[in-house]
Amino acid sequence: MSTGDWLADRLGWTRVEAYLAKRSVPRHGFMFYVGGITLFLFLVQVASGVLLTLYYQPDAAQAHGSVERIVGEISYGDLVRAVHVWAGDLFVASLMLHMFIVMARRSFRAPQELTWLSGIALLALGVGEAFTGAVLPWSERACMDARVGSELALYVPLVGAWLRRLMRGGEDVTSNTLAHAFGFHVAALPAALTFVVAVHLFARSRNRAGSAGATDVPTIPLYPDFFVRLAVALTGVMVLVLTLAIFVERPIGPPADPRLSSALGLPPWYFLPMHAIVRAVPGELLGIDGPRFLVSAACVIGLAVVALPFIDRRGSRLTAWLAWIALLALILVSVRAIT
Amino acid sequence: MPANDDRKGVPRRDFLNVAVGGSAAALAVAGAYPVVRYLAPPPGRSKGVVRVGELERFPVGTVHTVLVDERPVLMVRTADRLRAFSAICTHLDCVVAYSAERRQIECPCHGGVYSLDGRNVAGPPPRPLEELTVTVDEGVVLVSPAG
């Protein structure tokens, strides 16, 4: 008996294979693979992130230097950091794209409410990872984004003051902010993400039949057909991540100095719409603080998105249109902020 | 003994469900409360009066940034007095800077502008910069939080 046969026998592989082959999934285009791609990018982040913790120092005096050391001295450190930065951006992008696609396909309808809710939780956790991760190099830029991001959080109704203290590890942006960001970035948020991913996949697999509209779409077996296609898609994603990591530089920027004025420039791309709107809105709007008005509006929209399966029970065409219009508007506002 | 379906009052099963569920919920809340409080620390105590240096460090017509309790503070020296303003923008907490060219205080994040007496004159800032109390004691400049 070969080693492969022995392992297959001990694992009961033939039964697993038979079970997977019996399950089928609708045959869709690229959009059906975005969820799988997002999960894959999360795994890339876990792997590259664990490697980074081996040299990163979560201390205000040493953080910036330790990131420079990873990039400058450690063998392949520049590659590991660049993969983490790029795959992180792509992770957030694919989380958002995944949400818009589900909205547009109206796949949030009953019985997929739990899938939708856990998906929105994943989006929130993913953005939390991006926000805390951006703080860790403790550069000028990092400090400023931490300041503005947490100050905006102050305007969240009811829990604002608590949320700002949570994000800063105190009233102000200090060395404690970095310690907090590190703990959340490498421990609390990844643990929560792992748990919610499990809930998300479980909820999804339980109610496959009710999703994606019509039942007369052609299907393919989960294994090997779907897995092979997914493998091709993931290979493509890995090629994209490596290409970006090798050829497009992501500078660390100068270290933070609390006396220096905040750096000019732009926040990470996923904050660009908020940045552009914040800049354009005056100090007061309809008698309310400008930022308070904006953040409250964002919270209302956020709640509506969370409650979408309960507001739009049947999945109207309007929601699909709104999804594409919202995506287009966000892209246009972002482009305006850059140019 | 017959089944207790026809007895009056709450069935035993429902009572136990509520009692066990309620206890579990109470335990969860009791466990979560300290964690929620732990996550967001209370405001730290201010150190009170902070010494920022000799008066000669701040010549007439200059603006310097110093740190008071880890927070940036603008020391504005004009012909008649020395004033201290928190260098934190009242809009969204960025650190502002003095522009010698335009003789004004500017916030790079969202384009806020303050005059040298701390008033918000342009852009989104809703309030003037917070002013701190400056005292000069035998040539040494002391800054203390306002109020």
Which of A148, A259, A291 faces B94 most closely, judged by CB atoms?
A148
Size of interface A-B (CB pairs under 8 A): 86
pLDDT 10s digits, A133-156: 999 999 988 888 888 889 899 999
Look at residue B30 in the predicted model and tell me its pLDDT.
Answer: 94
d(C-alpha A134, C-alpha B21), whole Å: 41
Q: Do A172 and B71 make contact, defined as CB atoms within 8 angstroms?
A: yes
d(C-alpha B60, C-alpha B81), whole Å: 9
Residues of B in contact with A151 (CB under 8 A): 92-93
Q: Which of A201-210, A291-300, B102-111, B136-145 has the lowest mean pLDDT?
A: A201-210
CA A206 to chain centre: 24
- Contact with chain B for residue A285, Cβ under 8 A: no
Q: Average of pLDDT values for A79-100?
A: 95
Residues of B in contact with A169 (CB under 8 A): 41
Look at residue A221 in the predicted model and tell me its pLDDT.
Answer: 85
* pLDDT above 50 (res A89): yes
Q: Which of A61-70, A72-81, A330-339 has the lowest mean pLDDT?
A: A330-339
* Neighbour-count burial of B42, counting CB atoms closer than 10 A to its CB (0-12 exposed, 13-18 middle, 19+ buried): exposed
Residues of B in contact with A259 (CB under 8 A): 65-67, 72, 95
Residue A39 is given by DSSP the state: H
Q: Enumerate residues 6+ apart whose C-beta is below 8 A from A298.
A: A274
Return the exposure string of B12-21: e unless at least 16 CB atoms fall within 10 Å of the residue's CB, then b. Answer: eeeeeeeeee
Look at residue A210 in the predicted model and tell me its pLDDT.
Answer: 46
pLDDT 10s digits, A26-69: 777 777 889 999 999 999 999 999 999 999 999 989 999 999 99
Look at residue A211 in the predicted model and tell me its pLDDT.
Answer: 47
Look at residue B47 in the predicted model and tell me its pLDDT.
Answer: 67
* pLDDT above 70 (res A112): yes
Domains of chain B by residue range: 1-42, 50-144
Type of residue found at B120: N
Look at residue A287 in the predicted model and tell me its pLDDT.
Answer: 72
Read off the pTM. 0.84
Residues of B with CB under 8 A from a CB of A: 36, 39-44, 65-67, 70-72, 87, 91-97, 106-111, 120, 123-126
pLDDT 10s digits, B94-136: 888 888 888 899 988 888 899 988 898 888 888 899 999 888 8
Residue linked to tokens 């699909």:
A320
- CATH number for domain B50-144, candidates 3.40.630.30, 2.60.120.10, 2.40.50.90, 2.102.10.10: 2.102.10.10
* Neighbour-count burial of A305, counting CB atoms closer than 10 A to its CB (0-12 exposed, 13-18 middle, 19+ buried): middle
Does the structural domain A28-253+268-338 have CATH classification 1.20.810.10? yes
Q: Do B125 and A261 make contact, defined as CB atoms within 8 angstroms?
A: no
pLDDT tier at A91, thresholds 50, 70, 90: very high
pLDDT tier at A336, thresholds 50, 70, 90: confident
Nearest to A139 by CA among A276, A271, A251, A270: A251
Q: Do B92 and A261 make contact, defined as CB atoms within 8 angstroms?
A: no
Q: Do B126 and A290 make contact, defined as CB atoms within 8 angstroms?
A: yes
Residues of A in contact with B68 (CB under 8 A): none
Q: What is the bridge-based pairing of β-strands B140-144 and A24-26?
A: unpaired
Least CA distance to B105: which residue of chain A?
Answer: A261
Q: How confident is the prediction for chain A on average, in pLDDT?
A: 89
Domains of chain A by residue range: 28-253+268-338
Residues of chain B with pLDDT under 50: 147
In contact, B121 and A283? CB cutoff 8 Å? no
- Contact with chain B for residue A257, Cβ under 8 A: no
Q: Do A261 and B108 make contact, defined as CB atoms within 8 angstroms?
A: yes
Angle between helices A175-183 and A160-168 (to 10 degrees): 90
pLDDT cut 90: percent of chain A above it: 53
Q: Do B41 and A278 make contact, defined as CB atoms within 8 angstroms?
A: no
Look at residue A72 in the predicted model and tell me its pLDDT.
Answer: 93
* Neighbour-count burial of A79, counting CB atoms closer than 10 A to its CB (0-12 exposed, 13-18 middle, 19+ buried): middle
Which position has the higher pLDDT, A285 or B41? Answer: B41
Which of A176, A261, A279 faces B110 most closely, judged by CB atoms?
A279
Look at residue A22 in the predicted model and tell me its pLDDT.
Answer: 85
pLDDT tier at A84, thresholds 50, 70, 90: very high
- Contact with chain B for residue A278, Cβ under 8 A: yes
